[in-house]
């Protein structure tokens, strides 16, 4: 099973103040990791992780390639000692699209980096500007192209429901990410944290976020379509965390957000398979192995949803059915249909 040795690198001297970012995570409180911390984390993983060939050393925190060069090299050198000897699968990092160029990518190649994730957040310039990202959609396109040319795995992170993002801007982001076709995507519905510009805009009434159901529906579409297109969605919704629950003042947080989206994908697939006006009765669907809880829905929501219309839904698993697909095999009183 895939795992990450996660090393959080708080952004040192970030030149930007994105409207959704809690600046306290940048300016202090968090200790900066050094080479000893990287080595300790890798040695610990060597003892504890069963399959190190599917384990990556991951530098997260937003802007890895924008941190001071000496410091970046210190961390990379420490990680490369482990990744370079083939002990782990590789090195993954996340950064801003405007801190990617040939010179930086040459260094990352040299130090054994294998995957680069870009915080794209939106592909609408209007939304990027309104949320004070400090880069454009073109920066994302150019950086993605260059990362691909160098042969790195490409990841894109997107946010849903940002300030000034309506359905048109959400479509733009979704369509462009589909067209870039990264290897991985992270989908983050916006969470409005205290001490951020978005919190101020929310309090003043200037930012009127979409409804939770709209954001759920947009995220569901992205999760389903990216998966179907072979783009791996490695995150959908923020981690369930006490920090977020304590510090959020608005936005779209749910501790089981991905489960909600997966339930919606199955609900839509079942409705499609049933067609218009199905007769009351019991229907059996084959679904992929290990997908029953996703198909039944969060807190059995799908079962209850269909029961309200007099439909009883049953599932059986089959290894050959892909994730999020359903196949109707039986309805009460009839053989295979
Ligand atoms: S989200 Fe924006 S402000 Fe926060 S660390 Fe990343 S680039 Fe800097």
SS (H, E, C) the chain: CCEEEEEECCCCCCCCCCCCCCCHHHHCCCCCCCHHHHHHHHHHHHHHCCCHHHEEEEEECCCHHHCCHHHHHHHHHHHHHHHCCCCCCEEEEEECHHHCCHHHHHHHHHCCEEEEEEEEECCCHHHHHHCCCCCCHHHHHHHHHHHHHCCCEEEEEEEECCCCCCHHHHHHHHHHHHHHCCCEEEEEECEEECCCHHHHHHHHCCCCCCCHHHHHHHHHHHHHHHHHCCCEEEEECCCCCHHHHHHEEEECCCCCHHHHHHHHHHHHHHHHHHCCCCCCEEEEEEEECCCHHHHHCHHHHHHHHHHCCCEEEEEEEECCCCCCCCEEEEECCCCCC
* Atom 1 of ligand 1: nearest residue by CA position: 21
Distance 17 CA to ligand 1 centre (A): 6
**Residues 79 and 148 occupy one common structural domain:** yes
Distance 14 CA to ligand 1 centre (A): 7
Residues whose beta carbon lies within 6 Å of some atom of ligand 1: 11, 14, 16-18, 21, 26, 62-63, 96
Q: Model pTM greater than 0.75?
A: yes
**Residues 87 and 111 occupy one common structural domain:** yes
Q: Given this model, what pLDDT does residue 336 score?
A: 40
Q: Given this model, what pLDDT does residue 26 score?
A: 42
| Residue 292 included in any domain | yes
| Residue 139 included in any domain | yes
**Residues 216 and 272 occupy one common structural domain:** no
Structural domains in the chain (count): 2
* Atom 6 of ligand 1: nearest residue by CA position: 62
**Residues 242 and 269 occupy one common structural domain:** no
**Residues 135 and 281 occupy one common structural domain:** no
Distance 57 CA to ligand 1 centre (A): 21
pLDDT at residue 320 above 90? yes
**Residues 177 and 319 occupy one common structural domain:** no
More confident residue, 333 or 258: 258
**Residues 245 and 162 occupy one common structural domain:** yes
| Residue 149 included in any domain | yes
* Residue 133 CA, closest ligand 1 atom number: 2
Token pair recorded at residue 138: 């073109």
Give the chain's mean pLDDT.
92
Domain end, chosen from 202, 222, 255, is at: 255
Q: Given this model, what pLDDT does residue 337 score?
A: 37
Q: Given this model, what pLDDT does residue 334 score?
A: 44
User: Mean of the pLDDT values across residues 312-330?
Assistant: 96
Query: Whole domain around residue 200: which residue ranges?
Result: 3-255
**Residues 169 and 270 occupy one common structural domain:** no
Mutate to test the pocket of ligand 1, among 12, 16, 20, 139 (most ligand atoms within 8 A of CB): 16
User: Mean of the pLDDT values across residues 27-49?
Assistant: 85
- CATH number for the domain including 303? 3.30.300
Distance 305 CA to ligand 1 centre (A): 40
| Residue 337 included in any domain | no
| Residue 224 included in any domain | yes
**Residues 297 and 246 occupy one common structural domain:** no
**Residues 244 and 310 occupy one common structural domain:** no
**Residues 243 and 114 occupy one common structural domain:** yes
CA 16 to chain centre: 22
- CATH number for the domain including 196? 3.20.20.70
Distance 115 CA to ligand 1 centre (A): 20
% of the chain with per-residue pLDDT over 70: 94
**Residues 49 and 21 occupy one common structural domain:** yes
- Nearest of 105, 60, 55, 110 to residue 84 by alpha carbon: 110
Q: In whole angstroms, give the CA distance from residue 172 to residue 125.
A: 10
Condensed to tens digits (0 to 9), the pLDDT of residues 214-223 reads 999 999 999 9
Condensed to tens digits (0 to 9), the pLDDT of residues 156-186 reads 999 999 999 999 999 999 999 999 999 999 9
User: Mean of the pLDDT values across residues 108-135?
Assistant: 97
| Residue 336 included in any domain | no
Domain end, chosen from 255, 273, 306, is at: 255
| Residue 118 included in any domain | yes
* Residue 22 CA, closest ligand 1 atom number: 4
Domain end, chosen from 255, 273, 308, is at: 255
pLDDT at residue 333 above 60? no
| Residue 210 included in any domain | yes
């Amino acid at each position: 099973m895939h795992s990450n040795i996660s090393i959080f690198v708080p952004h040192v001297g970030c030149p930007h103040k994105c409207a959704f970012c809690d600046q306290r995570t940048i300016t202090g409180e968090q200790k900066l990791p050094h080479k000893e911390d990287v080595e300790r984390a890798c040695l610990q993983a060597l003892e504890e992780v069963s399959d190190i060939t599917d384990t990556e050393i991951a530098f997260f925190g937003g802007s890895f390639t924008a941190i001071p060069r000496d410091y970046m090299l210190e961390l990379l050198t420490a990680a490369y000692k482990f990744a370079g000897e083939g002990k782990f699968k590789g090195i993954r990092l996340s950064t801003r699209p405007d801190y990617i160029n040939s010179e930086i990518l040459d260094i990352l190649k040299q130090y054994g980096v294998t995957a680069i994730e870009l915080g794209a957040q939106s592909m609408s310039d209007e939304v990027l500007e309104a949320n004070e990202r400090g880069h454009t959609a073109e920066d994302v396109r150019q950086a993605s192209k260059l990362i691909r040319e160098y042969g790195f795995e490409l990841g894109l992170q997107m946010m849903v429901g940002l300030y000034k993002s309506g359905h048109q801007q959400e479509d733009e982001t979704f369509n462009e990410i589909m067209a870039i076709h990264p290897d991985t995507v992270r989908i983050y519905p916006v969470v409005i944290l205290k001490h951020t510009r978005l919190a101020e805009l929310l309090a003043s009434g200037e930012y009127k976020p979409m409804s939770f159901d709209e954001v759920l529906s947009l995220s569901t579409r992205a999760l389903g379509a990216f998966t179907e297109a072979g783009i791996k969605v490695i995150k959908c919704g923020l981690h369930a965390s006490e920090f977020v629950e304590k510090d959020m003042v608005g936005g779209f947080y749910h501790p089981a957000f991905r489960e909600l989206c997966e339930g919606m994908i199955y609900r839509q697939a079942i409705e499609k398979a049933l067609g218009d006006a199905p007769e009351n009765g019991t229907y059996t669907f084959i679904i992929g192995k290990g997908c029953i809880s996703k198909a039944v829905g969060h807190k059995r929501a799908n079962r209850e949803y269909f029961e309200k219309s007099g439909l009883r839904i049953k599932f059986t698993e089959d290894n050959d059915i892909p994730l999020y697909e359903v196949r109707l095999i039986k309805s009460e009183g009839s053989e295979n249909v």
